[in-house]
Amino acid sequence: MKDEVATPEARSAGLKGMGCSRKRVEDVRFTQGKGNYVDDIKLDGMLFGDFVRSPYAHAKVVSINTEEALKVPGVLAVLTAADLAPLGLHWMPTLAGDKQMVLADGKVLFQGQEVAYVVATDRYAASDGVEAVEVEYDELPVLTNPFEALESDVVLREDLAGQTEGAHGPRKHHNHIFTWEQGDKAATEQVLAEADVVAEEMIYYHRTHPCPLETCGCVASMDKVTGKLTLYGTFQAPHAIRTVVSLISGIAEHNIRVISPDIGGGFGNKVGAYAGYVCSVVASIVTGKPVKWVEDRMDNLMSTAFARDYWMQGKIAATKEGKITGLWCHTTADHGGFDACADPTKFPAGFMNICTGSYDIPVAYLSVDGVYTNKAPGGVAYRCSFRVTEAAYFIERMIEVLAIKLNMDAAELRRINFIRKDQFPYQSALGWEYDSGDYHTAWDKALKAVGYDDLRKEQAQRLEDFKAGKTRKLIGIGLTHFTEIVGAGPVKNCDILGLGMFDSCEIRIHPTGSAIARLGTISQGQGHATTFAQILASEIGIPADDITIEEGDTDTAPYGLGTYGSRSTPVAGAATAMAGRKIRAKAQMIAAYLLEVHDDDVEFDVDRFVVKGDGSRFKTMKEIAFAAYNKAIPGLEPGLEAVSYYDPPNMTYPFGAYICVMEIDVDTGEHEVRSFYALDDCGTRINPMIIEGQIHGGATEGYAIAMGQEIAYDDMGNHKSATLMDFFLPTSWETPTYQTDFTVTPSPHHPIGAKGVGESPNVGSVPCFSNAVHDAFRPFGLVQSHMPHDHWRVWKIANGLGLHG
Ligand code: PCD
Ligand SMILES: [Cu+]
């Protein structure tokens, strides 16, 4: 038999397991139009729902007249808050412990807010019905600036007026949500007072939006005969949605089946619960028919979860030689009309307290004030777990600001402050235990790869030429060394609505030796069907091609908390390895029985168990699988299945070193990204090609955010970026070319040593692009300037610095 002579290496390669750049199995469907997205779901007699939305950012709703709308052919019902109130469904709980109007209840708090829900026989009739609903508004003063909101007499949340306690402690003002403090305030202030050098700056990370290719949507189908509700939707956390729907609707959880079909990108946008879900469920119960709701692009950009909008006031203290001695940060967080941030319960500002970054900073203090304004609610990740991208932007900008103050090279300043390899596990001043890292090695590799010293020489020459009038283009060199925190998370400190953030995997091996594994996570494009099979292939010796990965159906998948915060690999990936090990343990007993030796006398060898010391006596996993169903083995149950619910002991801390070289035209404000180098360390790598794709995608989103993407409002609260004409999405024309690289520092607590990677490129690239812009103007005295660095803003910088003659 060919199999018997194959070397272990050849057998191993045949499995396409860990470390293999296996082609994405899902792409056969995706590239041939065989994907199955929410909008592809068409059920018998299905109706459509659409929203009447508020044109005002702040107004009283005086009256809603649905009479004309109900006359529109095809319109069957129009729901308003008055219809939902008797069911207790006119408000819904948010992930952040606040509550949010499902449909406008007396007033509206942001432009685009849901006011009424029209149900009709098709999309077009629903749209006509929306036009025909007459709403009378009475405008109220608008607050779009969080600092003004904290001073203003205008009460945004009248439902909370007089409530001095919020979900996260005391409220200081009627537009204040919470204060969150971490670290040692007194010690930090003392260090600041006594330091050789203190650099201080306001770092603003503007409001943006994940804007996935596919917008949010759902199909709710209530079967009145069986009493079973099936809810298809673009959910990044299907099980959590099932529990939430059960809690707020009163429908028993076993009678709810939530299915996330294929998802066309999530990026955090599809974590929260939206009014469209609640209204569709109610409409299906009322009409007895399936009801579909799918946002259009404007709906998505105006009303579903935004990201960032953090004003971060920083102070960083150092010795004259550049050794950082302390960090202070106060953040004003603009949460919009409702606090609907998607963060673990105990972390109202997410993991913002990772803002000490990659540096060994002895003392630090962070405080965050959450504020209501007349903007859309949300506050999701957008490819950075729980405010990590804000934290990374803050510290990586502060390092640059400090380098200016010290008149030091920013690469060297980073190097002398990095946490050293021998300091891991490292306890940070703001409360995290970094699991592993080797920052110096990564940094040196990165600087060498780009030829850092030569780049600085070229930059200096260019500056001379510029001053001599020979060129109008400057060179900026952007540096970033980021530390991410992903894999929420230990159940002891991370939960969402009380649900501990473990994750799960269940495996069934079929008699012929192929398998299915189901997980509590859900891919939105990451390629889980490809990579989780690779983990299993290496763990249990069955080729990845013979393993089906299934996610997203709560009737079949084990309970899990879903996919966001790059938690799938650190948590569900670990569960997969652990479940695989349970399979292997039983397989070992079966093999020993078949080989008539003691359990301890066989050992695992790639795809089989061999008798120790006698490689010619073995049973392959295929044979073992068959025996599990075919032989009565004393003391063993038939079958070969396992399930693991994994509660990680810690998060994982991926990191990376990014370097960007940019040319900036001083007269037009235009930029050209000449090169972008990204070194990522995500521990053990499962699929290098998928990792590379993740870096390309995430860095492109980072490029968009840093260089143009913005959710902007005018003073009246009008949303200025509700279409793709105004909201910048880079095409292949603008997208830079990336050079990727890596080091491997495994996570010591993860069963296969893997850390997450999906978010890293966004966390790392935004400060890198921004630092490049700042660096170009450093010789002319630029210290800080707010993103996005679009052509107009860059032109303004140059103009403000007197570079236009
Ligand atoms: N070491 C390692 C790691 C990792 N990996 C791979 O990679 C990926 C990713 O992973 P992760 O990192 O773990 O993550 P996940 O969890 O899976 O996912 C999540 C993420 O992911 C990213 N990416 C992506 N992609 C796509 N395509 N799409 C999408 O949507 C998305 N999103 C984004 C986001 S935003 Mo958030 O939600 O904001 O929080 S978070 C996020 C997968 O496949 C895995 O397996 C490998 O291989 N290796
Ligand atoms: Cu995030």
What residues contact 239, with CB distance under 8 A and at least 6 apart? 258, 520, 554, 557, 559, 560, 561, 562
Predicted TM-score (pTM) of this structure: 0.98
Pocket test for ligand 1, best of 390, 569, 681, 692 (most atoms within 8 A of CB): 569
Asked if pLDDT for residue 106 goes beyond 90, the answer is yes
Q: List the domains of the chain with CATH numbers.
A: 8-34+502-646 (3.30.365.10), 38-140+215-263+270-303 (3.90.1170.50), 394-486+651-801 (3.30.365.10)
Asked if pLDDT for residue 3 goes beyond 80, the answer is no
Report the atom number in ligand 1 closest to the C-alpha of 528.
Answer: 43
Kindly tell me the burial class for residue 42, based on how many C-beta atoms sit within 10 Å of its own C-beta (0-12, 13-18, 19 or more): exposed
Asked if pLDDT for residue 791 goes beyond 90, the answer is yes
Catalytic residue among 383, 387, 414, 584: 383
pLDDT bracket for residue 2 (50, 70, 90): very low
Q: Are strands 378-380 and 306-318 parallel, antiparallel or unpaired?
A: parallel
**Containing H/E element for 458?**
helix 452-467
567 C-beta closer than 6 A to ligand 1: yes
526 is a catalytic site residue: no
Kindly tell me the burial class for residue 329, based on how many C-beta atoms sit within 10 Å of its own C-beta (0-12, 13-18, 19 or more): buried
Taking the centre of ligand 2 as the mean of its atom positions, its distance from the CA of residue 182, in whole angstroms, is: 19
SS3 of residue 323 by DSSP? coil
| Digit-coded pLDDT (tens) for 675-731 | 999 999 999 999 999 999 999 999 999 999 999 999 999 999 999 999 999 999 999
| Digit-coded pLDDT (tens) for 470-507 | 999 999 999 999 999 999 989 999 999 899 999 999 99
Q: Are strands 602-605 and 547-551 parallel, antiparallel or unpaired?
A: unpaired
What protein residues have CB closer than 5 angstroms to ion ligand 2?
381, 384-385
**Beta bridge mates, 682:** none
Please give the C-alpha separations between residue 208 and each of 82, 388, 495, 695, in angstroms, as whole numbers. 33, 15, 26, 20
Asked if pLDDT for residue 5 goes beyond 80, the answer is no
Q: What is the mean pLDDT of residues 623-627?
A: 98
The mean predicted confidence, pLDDT, of the chain is 97
DSSP secondary structure code for residue 56 in this structure: -
| Digit-coded pLDDT (tens) for 732-749 | 999 999 999 999 999 999
Query: Atom 26, ligand 1: which residue's CA is nearest?
Result: 525
| Digit-coded pLDDT (tens) for 394-407 | 999 999 999 999 99
Asked if pLDDT for residue 627 goes beyond 80, the answer is yes
494 is a catalytic site residue: no
CB 526 within 8 A of CB 515: no
Catalytic residue among 216, 384, 494, 682: 384
CB 62 within 8 A of CB 33: no
Taking the centre of ligand 2 as the mean of its atom positions, its distance from the CA of residue 785, in whole angstroms, is: 23
Alpha helices in 207-329 (DSSP H): 238-249, 275-287, 297-303
Distance from the Cα of residue 512 to its chain's centroid: 39
Q: What is the mean pLDDT of residues 312-333?
A: 98
Catalytic residue among 100, 236, 524, 588: 236
Peptide bond just before 788 cis, omega within 30 deg? yes
The bound ligand whose nearest atom lies closest to the alpha carbon of 651 is 1
Give the Cα separation of 185 and 586 in Å (integer).
54
pLDDT, residue 297, reads 97
Helix-helix angle 791-800:760-777, to 10 degrees: 30
Taking the centre of ligand 2 as the mean of its atom positions, its distance from the CA of residue 215, in whole angstroms, is: 19
| Digit-coded pLDDT (tens) for 346-373 | 999 999 999 999 999 999 999 999 999 9
What residues contact 720, with CB distance under 8 A and at least 6 apart? 712, 713, 714, 726
| Digit-coded pLDDT (tens) for 251-286 | 999 999 999 999 999 999 999 999 999 999 999 999
CB 78 within 8 A of CB 130: no
584 is a catalytic site residue: no
Between CA 484 and CA 382, with CA 380 as vertex, the angle to 5 degrees is 60
**Which structure tokens are listed for 524?**
């939105």
Asked if pLDDT for residue 119 goes beyond 80, the answer is yes
Give the residue among 283, 268, 267 at the shortest CA–CA distance from 231: 283
**Beta bridge mates, 738:** 676
Kindly tell me the burial class for residue 690, based on how many C-beta atoms sit within 10 Å of its own C-beta (0-12, 13-18, 19 or more): buried
Q: Of all residues in the chain, what percent carry a pLDDT higher than 90?
A: 97
Give the Cα separation of 409 and 411 in Å (integer).
6
Kindly tell me the burial class for residue 300, based on how many C-beta atoms sit within 10 Å of its own C-beta (0-12, 13-18, 19 or more): buried
Alpha helices in 358-423 (DSSP H): 388-406, 410-417
Taking the centre of ligand 2 as the mean of its atom positions, its distance from the CA of residue 384, in whole angstroms, is: 2
Asked if pLDDT for residue 330 goes beyond 90, the answer is yes
Give me the interface pTM, i.e. the ipTM: 0.99
Query: Atom 18, ligand 1: which residue's CA is nearest?
Result: 566
Taking the centre of ligand 2 as the mean of its atom positions, its distance from the CA of residue 430, in whole angstroms, is: 18
| Digit-coded pLDDT (tens) for 32-79 | 999 999 999 999 999 999 999 999 999 999 999 999 999 999 999 999
Asked if pLDDT for residue 86 goes beyond 50, the answer is yes
Report the atom number in ligand 1 closest to the C-alpha of 210.
Answer: 38
Query: Atom 15, ligand 1: which residue's CA is nearest?
Result: 566
CB 547 within 8 A of CB 514: yes
| Digit-coded pLDDT (tens) for 578-601 | 999 999 999 999 999 999 999 999
Q: What is the mean pLDDT of residues 124-135?
A: 98
Whose tokens are 């170009």? That residue is: 776
236 is a catalytic site residue: yes
Please give the C-alpha separations between residue 229 and each of 206, 258, 490, 801, in angstroms, as whole numbers. 40, 8, 32, 62
pLDDT, residue 1, reads 45
Q: Of all residues in the chain, what percent carry a pLDDT higher than 70?
A: 99
pLDDT, residue 568, reads 98
Kindly tell me the burial class for residue 498, based on how many C-beta atoms sit within 10 Å of its own C-beta (0-12, 13-18, 19 or more): exposed
Give the Cα separation of 313 and 746 in Å (integer).
34
